């Protein structure tokens, strides 16, 4: 394969003529010569290596038909890398996310836990709905998960797996999250199929300063939880009395 350089055509070879380390670097080159990516995708060694196919599938210069043929062949890990790579072609990212949503129900629990830590935002509701404390705990370590996005996910009914994973996470002392968890617990306690116990709210009450506890109490309807929050909002001298 050739391209025009400053001093004439530049030759682009393929393995085995081209050393593999150099080939890997060229897969990320922004402007390969026409036909080079298609030829690379046809190499038997490349077809057996999803990480290499991933770079071809997401390359901005890859023809649409080739991209459409490659993405269904990629495993979830390669799809997740494409979905999270801002440099990937927009079509590749969109199709990778769609494929991940389709594969979510078919991958193993261990694979789900690995994916959860780096899953695209479109997959977060699917993850949150699974009552698996390990899965939720892995998801709560997601580097792109923010306070607003997490608060939007914390909705009733809450399961014990949710509250326990949250309590063990870095979110256990974040005031907006504590407010949202207490509100969701309040709503859950009022439901018919509640699996929570009142004591699980203690951590979230303690995460709030005194004035925030008073504010939380005004929003709580479940009488036992409301009394507990109000009691902990009082000055210590009053509580001891």
Mean pLDDT of 210-225: 95
Indicate if 77 and 4 belong to the same structural domain: yes
Q: Rounded to an integer, what distance in angstroms lies between the CA atom of residue 148 and that of residue 158? A: 18
Same domain, yes or no, for 198 and 163? yes
Per-residue pLDDT reduced to its tens digit, 72-124 = 999 999 999 999 999 999 999 999 999 999 999 999 999 999 999 999 999 99
The reported pLDDT for the residue numbered 233 is 86
Q: What one-character DSSP code corresponds to residue 77?
A: H
| SS3 assignment, position 166 | helix
pLDDT of residue 11: 72
Instruction: Give the domain range for residue 135.
Output: 109-145
Query: Which contiguous run of DSSP H or E holds residue 11?
Result: strand 8-11
Same structural domain, 97 and 24: yes
Cα of first residue to Cα of last residue in the chain, in angstroms, is 86
Residues 2 and 99 in one domain: yes
Q: Minimal CA–CA distance to 85: which of 148, 28, 140, 41?
A: 28
Radius of gyration of the chain (CA): 26
Q: Does one domain contain both 126 and 34?
A: no
Q: Are 201 and 182 in contact (CB under 8 A)?
A: yes
| Contact indicator for 86, 52 with CB cutoff of 8 Å | no
pLDDT of 239 over the 60 cut:
no
pLDDT at 240: 41
Q: How confident is the prediction for the chain on average, in pLDDT?
A: 92
Residue 60 has pLDDT above 80, yes or no: yes
pLDDT tens figures, 155-166: 999 999 999 999
Please indicate, yes or no, whether residues 226 and 185 belong to a single structural domain of this protein: yes
User: Which of residues 94, 129, 145 is at a domain's end?
Assistant: 145
- Least confident interval from 28-32, 47-51, 189-193: 189-193
SS3 call for 4: strand
Is the same domain home to 122 and 172?
A: no
Both 88 and 3 in a single domain?
yes
In this prediction the pTM is 0.86
Number of domains making up the chain: 3
How would residue 238 be classed by pLDDT, with cut points 50, 70 and 90?
A: very low
Whether the upstream peptide bond of residue 232 has omega within 30° of 0, thus cis, is no
């Amino acid at each position: 394969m050739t391209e025009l350089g400053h001093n004439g055509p530049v030759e682009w070879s393929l393995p085995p003529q081209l050393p593999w380390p150099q080939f890997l670097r060229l897969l990320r080159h922004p402007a390969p010569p026409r036909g080079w990516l298609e030829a690379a995708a046809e190499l038997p060694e490349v077809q057996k290596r999803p990480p290499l196919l991933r770079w071809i599938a997401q390359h901005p210069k890859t023809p649409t038909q080739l991209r459409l043929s490659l993405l269904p062949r990629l495993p979830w890990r390669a799809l997740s890398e494409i979905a999270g790579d801002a440099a990937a072609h927009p079509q590749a990212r969109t199709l990778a996310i769609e494929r991940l949503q389709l594969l979510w129900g078919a991958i193993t629990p261990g694979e789900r836990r690995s994916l959860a830590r780096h899953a695209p935002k479109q997959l977060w509701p699917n993850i949150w709905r699974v009552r698996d404390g390990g899965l939720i705990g892995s998801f709560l370590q997601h580097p792109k998960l923010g306070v607003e996005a997490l608060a939007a996910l914390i909705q009733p009914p809450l399961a014990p797996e949710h509250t326990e994973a949250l309590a063990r996470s870095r979110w256990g002392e974040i005031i907006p999250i504590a407010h949202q968890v207490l509100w969701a617990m309040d709503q859950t306690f009022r439901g018919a199929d509640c699996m929570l116990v009142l004591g699980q709210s203690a951590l979230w009450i303690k995460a709030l300063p005194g004035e925030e506890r008073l504010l939380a109490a005004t929003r709580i309807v479940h009488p036992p939880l409301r009394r507990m929050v109000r009691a902990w909002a009082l000055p210590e001298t009053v509580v001891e009395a």
